[in-house]
A and B are shown apart, each in its own frame.
Chain A
Amino acid sequence: MLLKLSLSSLYARLVTVGMTVIAISFSLMLYMSVEKLRTSAYTSFTDTISQTDLIIGARASSVQLMLYSVFRIGNATNNITWESYLDIVNKEEVDWAVPISLGDSHKGFRVMGTNKDFFARYKYRGGQSINIDKGYLFEDLYDVVLGAGVAEKLGYDIDTPLIVAHGLQSFSEHDDQPFRVSGILEKTGTPVDNTVIVSLAAIEAIHVDWSTGAKIPGQETPIEEIRKMDLTPKNITAALIGVKSKLTIFNLQRWINEYPEEAMTAILPGAALQELWRVVGVVENLLLGISIVVIFTTLIGMTAIMFSSLSERRREMAIWRAMGASPRTVVGLLMLEAIFISVLSILLSVILLFFSLSILQPWIDYNYGILVNVEMLSLRDMYVFMTFIFASILVSLLPAIRAYWFSINDGMTIKI
């Protein structure tokens, strides 16, 4: 009976209550989407590379090395020579190594030279391998393998011909040596999706007639001749390394960092990702902070609305009292109302969240490579909801105490 009357009282104030519910649910949704994006971004980010023990490159900060070798953002300061690379590979601690050569691009996508080991050794999301979706890995010198994102955005398929441009924003193209798509990878949600992968030899081949970043005028070696050449690279940009025993990682890292013949840096991917996340994470914490403030503001708004409705409901409370309701019942009614409003807001916000996420998920994935997990509410979300309900009970105490005071003092007088 009380519940029924409380609900019809809310229903009678449909517009005010409705607006409050909408305001609260939007702020809750804001909070939850920030939270979802944050956790998804974090998992997408930290799962970008796994099971690689060390990444080596020319002397640079760990964040920078991480950015260009894994995320393909920015440029390497320098290359490392093939000899140094071999020196490292031949160390007995090293189990495997995958060289990477960067620097060229195709229509805004980075071109990465590597060997087939890359596909076997590069792991993401806790050990998942890269799988080929269509075609095969490069067999011919001029074969390329496309990340899923590249193929999708450029509309390429197997056998599509393509030309690699020199550098990242350059107009000079290696148009004398056209490539052909031999394989397309499955979507991974990592930067691999946006990478054009060729063999190391191919990187050498397209630079045969080039010297220090420019084409040597008049020189044009025919493709048949290039095919016969020794295309072992002279330089690479970075390398992924796996060790036989985890215990030797730090020794090997120090050995590389102190390598006398060349200035190199070896980083632990996990640690570098964490470090990088701390930089990126500031924004995310800021967003989180803002959305918490928004929730807080809405709670205050709800209290304000309850306060303002209190004076017009004073006579209603006097009626309740006259019927024999204790002041506690009157207070309970107000609290019930607050709980009802917050539960309704939570439900609406969850609906809004899933609705908007399921619409936006492909877009976010496509544009930012963040796979937002739409499926379930986390335990953390439940805690947030519980806290919110608790907080709304707490803030509704203020108008409720006032109502208590009214109902004790008003007695027979009905104030309007």
Chain B
Amino acid sequence: MDENIIKIDSVRFHWSKKSSFKIFVPNFEINKGEKVLLLGESGSGKTTLLSLICGFLNPLSGSISINGSTINKLSSKTKDEHRADNIGIIFQQFNLLPYANVIDNIVLPLYFSKVRSANVTNQRESALNICKQLRLPDDIDQYKASSLSVGQQQRVAVARALIGNPSLVIADEPTSSLDTDAQQIFLDLMFEQISNNKSTLLMVSHDKSLAERFDRLIDINEVLTRED
């Protein structure tokens, strides 16, 4: 069994020929179950790297393997399915569909992933259960996503990223819109859930102080080189 959940080999990417922004990732690996913090300033290519890992962007050369399949060889349809099956994503902010209720937001990935929906017997119950563990209010299912506080929204996003047990959770500065106290609470809850699920976590941040919670700290500049 492959121990790497993410394995990037000699990946080159740039937006267009004219673009000055060109990156090269010689080798980047994350093992299953690891919790990795990727540190980097804005504009360092973090988001581009995440987009490559999630399969939104295609490398020009090299290979990106996620949970055993080389995603840059997959058709775009299979790649979308692969993402739905394997990756839970948490954005910086505005994670939720504002018009949908909380439960619909949480179970949304199950609609796109047969694998993850197979892991969940009762979608609603399962969603409520995760919400409870994330200390969201008991009557959370009564709320529309837009009526929640930012902290609550981010926690709902965690619930959505974790439902159906995807093997990899990618979080792009999920705490940047929270104040320090809320950050700590949020991270505690997120880590607890990820540990329970035995998922791998790749979190991006520019905040070094978070490092102690993670198994490994990687500087973005060690992962990729800019080829200007």
Contact = CB atoms under 8 A, between A and B. Distances in A.
Interface stretch (A4-12, A98-106, A371-379): A4-12
B69 interface: no
A315 interface: yes
A351 interface: no
A416 interface: yes
B113 interface: yes
A2 B111 contact: yes
Contacts of A2: 111
Interface in B53-107: 54, 56-57, 76-77, 80-81, 83-85, 89, 91-100, 104
Interface of A, helix, strand, loop or mixed by DSSP = helix
Given A8-B99, A325-B112, A414 B92 contact: yes
B94 A324 contact: no
Size band of the B side of the interface? 20 to 34
A8 B96 CA distance: 13
Contact of A413 (B47, B84, B99): B47
B50 interface: yes
Contacts of A408: 56
A239 B116 CA distance: 87
B112 A12 contact: no
Contacts of A411: 47, 50-51, 54, 56-57
Interface string A166-199: 0000000000000000000000000000000000
A206 to B, nearest CB: 79
Contacts of B104: 1, 4-5, 8
Contact of A414 (B77, B91, B97): B91
A322 B89 contact: yes
B80 A1 contact: no
Nearest to B46: A412
Most-contacted residue by chain A among B76, B81, B100 (CB, 10 A): B100
A411 B97 CA distance: 17
B56 A321 contact: yes
Contacts of B83: 322, 324
B108 interface: yes
Interface of B: 47, 50-51, 54, 56-57, 76-77, 80-81, 83-85, 89, 91-100, 104, 108-109, 111-113, 160, 172
